[in-house]
Amino acid sequence: MSPAYKTPEQHDRWHKRTCARCGRHGWFTARRPAGHVCRTCHDKALRVRGQCPACGDERVLPGRRPDDGIVICPDCAGFMMSYRCSRCGHEGKLHGGRLCTRCALADRLNDLLDDGTGRSAPPSDPCQGAAPRCIDPPNTEGSRP
C-alpha cells in the first residue's frame, strides 16, 4: 500500500532529506542520531570495518562521533537499527529480510534451484525415464564376463 500523496511537494517532503554526511538533498535510506543519510553515504559507511575506538569491539563502523568525527560502531553511535544479519549474525549491509549479502545470495541461489515445492531440487534422479532395470536391478553379479 502506498500512501496517497496530494502533491509532488508533499511526496518530496516525506521522502527526501538533506543528508547529514554529504549535504545533498535527496532520498534518504536511514535515520541517524545526527540526521538522515542518503543511500550512497549509508552503504559507504557500512563498508568501514575495524575496532571501535569507543567500545573496542571489532565491528562495522558506520557511526561518527559528533565531537571528533571518528568512526564508531552502531551501538556507540546510538543507532536505532542493528546491522546484524538475522540468520548468521554477520554485521554489514543488509538486504531483504534483514539478511547479509552472503545469506541473501544463498537464498537467491536456492530460489533458482527451487523445484516449486519450496525446497531445493535434489540432484537429478538417474533413474528418471531410464530403463526399468534401474528401479529393480537384475542380479548381474558374477554374470559379467
104 binds Zn ion (CB under 5 A): no
Select from 4-12, 81-89, 110-118, 127-135 the region that touches Zn ion (CB under 5 A): 81-89
Binding to Zn ion (CB under 5 A) within 106-145 occurs at none
Q: Name which position in 52, 60, 71, 94 contacts Zn ion (CB under 5 A).
A: 52
Eight-state DSSP code of residue 2: P
100 binds Zn ion (CB under 5 A): yes
Quick one: 60 or 73, whose CB is closer to Zn ion? 73
67-98 in b/e form (b: 16+ CB < 10 A) is eeeebbbbebbebeeebbbeeeeebbbbeeee
Measured between alpha carbons, how far is 52 from 31 in angstroms, rounded to an integer? 21
With beta carbons less than 8 A apart as the criterion, state whether 37 and 20 touch: yes
Contact residues toward Zn ion (CB under 5 A) are: 19, 21-22, 38, 41, 52, 54-55, 73, 76, 85, 87-88, 90, 100, 103
